[in-house]
Structure 1
Amino acid sequence: MKSRTQMYVITAFAAAIIAVLAQVSIPLPFGVPITGQTLAVGLVVTILGTKYGTLAVLVYILLGAVGMPVFSSMSGGLGILVGPTGGYIIGFAAQAFIQGLYMDKLGYNYVHAIISNLIGMVVTLAFGTAWLKVAMSISWEAAFMGGVAPFIVLGIVKAVAAAWLGILVRNRLMSARLLPKYA
């Protein structure tokens, strides 16, 4: 029972990390900024795996949905989720689940962490771009140019950084017995 409580505390801390890194934000046209959220989600899932990584992302989204200022630029509320960036935020949950499943099946090492983070980046960009098209009533080309193109290079850098740091932290937490083997 102690490890379950411990994992819920770590999960809450992980949701807080996502909220803090979301405040690192560089505004771009179309209302979709470059943020630290994608780095944070990849990092959290690499460390915690599918179950607790996805739970941390869902807690983060729920906190933002009820109005806590956890989204980028200290914003929150349902309006953000139905606005131009909402698809990216919802995509974080899909990213967490898919990325975590990949690593659960193939292993927690640097190579699989990089691959899973890159897959997660694509998942988030797909959700975000589809919603950007709908929310802004723009063409697929415009949605791609505003919702994917500006994020590709930095997204790859963030995916590699999340993988490297995530595996490093995960291994240290497991060595210190702060993260159970099943996480």
Structure 2
Amino acid sequence: MRNEQLKMMIVSALFAAIIAVFAQISIPLPFSPVPITGQTLAIGLAATILGSRYGTLSVGIYLLLGAVGAPVFAGMIGGLGSLVGPTGGYLVGFLPTAFIIGWYLEKTSFSVKQAIIANLIGMIVTLAFGTAWLKVAADLTWTAAIAGGVTPFIPLGIVKAVLAAIGGIAVRKRLESARLLSIQTN
């Protein structure tokens, strides 16, 4: 049991590193202080593969690394300033996003259909947290915050949700069949 927990904590740390790498896939938008990044795809993969507990742990490790100054956030930046700046709400929103995706899958099934639904819900959670904070941090109206913090992210967000679902379920099934993934769902 203890070895299994240690193994899953190591896998969670590995996924934190994967999130950091995917964060560097970043497309700046001229009309928004928030870039399009690969973070949400990596978080969807982590939660779909690892479930609520370890998926959320991987995001927590990632955020902690960034908060203490490791350059893991988009654009190779880190530090507490990232968490209180215009993108801070998206970063903080990754925690409930990972938990909700994993929890939803644990309560339904780890199938592609359910994973797509879970990842789309996760996209909405991230955008809600991010946009609410963007409004405050950048002193925007709701209309401007939604225009810069939601609208440009929906099309690619849907694509990333589907990719995270399909890829995540495929990887999870292979890891389970190889007995490399032992996750107890609640």
TM-score by length of 2: 0.97
Whether 1:55 and 2:57 are equivalent positions in the alignment is: yes
Counterpart in 2 of 1:76?
Answer: 78
Shift of 1:4: 1.0
Match of 1:41 in 2: 43
Q: Secondary structure at the match of 2:72?
A: coil
Please report how far the alpha carbon of residue 68 of structure 1 lies from its aligned counterpart in structure 2 after TM superposition.
0.4
Provide Cα deviations, 1:35-57, integer angstroms capped at 9, x if missing partner: 00000000100000000000000
User: Within 1, Cα distance between the matches of 2:138 and 2:32?
Assistant: 8
Spell out structure 1 runs of 4+ moving beyond 2 A.
none
2:22 is matched with: 21
- Structure-to-structure mapping, 1:19-168, within 5 angstroms: 19-28=20-29, 29-168=31-170
Moved more, 94-103 or 41-50: 94-103
Higher percent of residues as helix:
1
Q: Do the aligned partners of 1:125 and 1:147 also contact (CA within 8 Å) in 2? A: yes
Task: Verify the 8 A CA contact 1:174 1:181 in the aligned structure 2.
Answer: no
Give TM-score, length-normalised by structure 1.
0.98
**Aligned-partner Cα distance in 1 for 2:129–2:117:** 19
Indicate if the aligned counterparts of 1:30 and 1:84 stay in contact, CA closer than 8 A: no
CA distance in 2, matches of 1:62, 1:181: 23
Q: Which runs of 5+ in 2 are unaligned?
A: none
Contact 2:51 2:183 (8 Å CA) reproduced:
no
Tell me the amino acid that sits aligned with residue 9 of structure 1.
I
**1:56-111: per-residue Cα shift (whole Å, max 9, x none)?**
00000010000000000100000010000000000000101111111110010001
Question: 1:30 deviation in Å?
Answer: 2.7
Q: Which residue type is aligned with residue 130 of structure 1?
A: A
Q: Hey, what's the Cα distance between the residues in 2 that align with 1:177 and 1:6?
A: 12
Q: Distance in 2 between matches of 1:19 and 1:181?
A: 23
| Residue identity in the other structure for 2:47 | V
Q: Equivalents in 1 of 2:126, 2:73: separation in Å?
A: 15
User: How many residue pairs end up in the alignment?
Assistant: 183
C-alpha contact 2:50 2:183 (8 A) present in aligned 1: no
| Corresponding residue for residue 9 of structure 1 | 10
